[in-house]
């Protein structure tokens, strides 16, 4: 099959492809899966058997599903993450205080990853959730991180992923982005004005560790009609900044 130009252990690549396919298909039989990943049935079957043995895949009612053993990995990985340790409870605070959605993001492989999320009483129904990986340039959270990364790292990321438009408001021009990142560095606050999701605005602040490198960012997000005027421009930014400071203090004393 069309060589993916990817050098790496083939069997391992395929195993993960299969697991991902299983989640996409919401469970599947051997044949359906084999078709989806474009492999002979027997190969697919062989992988499924292996994965089932390791308990990462579950075989029930003639269907294979991704198992909950992945929860163990992801939960421990998350708990070991400094950002989650120090910021998690503050995200809850922020959500409660503002009534909106608050979220935590970190960067991995040049993309933004939602690490944690908390919903306030008025929180918008939103389809973003923990574990989602998004282009880093199209959210307040992502831009807050990007702004404070070392310049070479930042360029490398933009180089590798480009500035694809996710929305009509997404920043797609490098110069525009550079300028905005400059502002963000100054203010320590990033905005997202419907750059990823229509009708959604957000405010985010970076979180720096002891040696002043970004380990992630925190945000409040809500429907545009509620995110306006003084609240959007002053009130929320101040609240977010305050919380970010508290978190940074947590880091010092950890």
Binding residues for DNA, per CB under 7 A?
Answer: 1, 8-11, 14, 29-32, 39-43, 45-49, 59, 62-63
Nearer to DNA, 16 or 183 (CB): 16
One of 109, 125, 168, 225 touching a second copy (CB under 8 A):
109
Under the criterion CB under 8 A, does residue 235 sit at the interface with a second copy?
no
Cα 204 from chain centre: 14
Tell me: does residue 89 bind a second copy (CB under 8 A). Answer: no
Residue with Cβ nearer DNA (131 or 210): 210
16 belongs to the binding site for a second copy (CB under 8 A): yes
Our finding on whether 131 is near a second copy (CB under 8 A) is yes
Partner touching 112 among a second copy, DNA, none, CB below 5 to 8 Å by kind: none
**108 near a second copy, judged by CB under 8 A:** yes
Compute the least distance from the CB of residue 193 to a second copy, in Å. 27
Nearest to 47 by CA among 19, 7, 9: 19
Report in angstroms how near the CB of residue 7 gets to DNA at its nearest: 8
Distance CA(83)–CA(29), nearest Å, equals 39
Taking the C-alpha atoms of residue 67 and residue 87, their distance in angstroms, rounded to an integer, is: 29
Closest CA to 100 of 76, 125, 134, 64: 125
Q: What is the bridge-based pairing of β-strands 190-193 and 57-60?
A: unpaired
Q: List, as one string, the DSSP characters of 126-174.
A: ----TT-EEEGGGSHHHHHHHHHS-HHHHHHHHHHH----SSTT----H
In order of 77, 80, 134, the CA distances from 73 in angstroms are: 6, 11, 21
> Rounded CA gap, 51 and 56, in Å?
6
> Min. distance of Cβ 228 from a second copy in angstroms?
31
Q: Select the residue interacting with a second copy from 62, 71, 121, 212 (CB under 8 A).
A: 71
**Chain residues that interact with a second copy, rule: CB under 8 A:** 6, 8-13, 15-16, 19-20, 23, 26-27, 46-47, 49-51, 53-56, 58, 65-78, 80-81, 106, 108-109, 113, 115, 129-133
């Amino acid at each position: 099959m069309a060589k993916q130009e990817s050098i790496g252990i083939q069997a391992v690549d395929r195993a993960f492809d299969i697991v991902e396919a299983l989640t996409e298909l919401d469970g599947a039989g051997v044949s359906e899966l084999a078709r989806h990943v474009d492999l002979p049935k027997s190969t697919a079957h062989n992988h499924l058997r292996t994965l089932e043995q390791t308990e990462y895949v579950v075989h029930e009612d003639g269907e294979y599903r991704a198992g909950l053993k992945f929860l163990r990995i992801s939960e421990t990985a998350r708990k070991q993450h400094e950002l989650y340790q120090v910021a998690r409870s503050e995200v809850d605070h922020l959500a409660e205080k503002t009534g909106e959605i608050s979220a935590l993001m970190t960067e991995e492989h040049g993309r933004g990853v939602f690490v944690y999320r908390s919903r306030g009483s008025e929180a918008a129904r939103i389809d973003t959730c923990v574990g989602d990986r998004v282009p880093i340039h199209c959210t307040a959270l992502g831009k807050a991180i990007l702004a404070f990364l070392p310049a070479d790292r930042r360029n490398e990321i933009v180089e590798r992923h480009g500035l694809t438009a996710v929305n009509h408001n997404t920043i797609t021009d490098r110069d525009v982005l550079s300028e905005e990142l400059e502002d963000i560095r100054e203010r320590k606050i990033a905005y997202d004005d419907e750059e990823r999701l229509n009708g959604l605005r957000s405010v985010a602040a970076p979180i720096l560790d002891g040696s002043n490198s970004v380990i992630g960012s925190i945000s409040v997000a809500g429907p545009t009609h509620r995110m306006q005027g003084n609240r959007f421009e002053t009130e929320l930014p101040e609240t977010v900044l305050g919380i970010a400071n508290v978190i940074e203090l947590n880091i010092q004393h950890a």
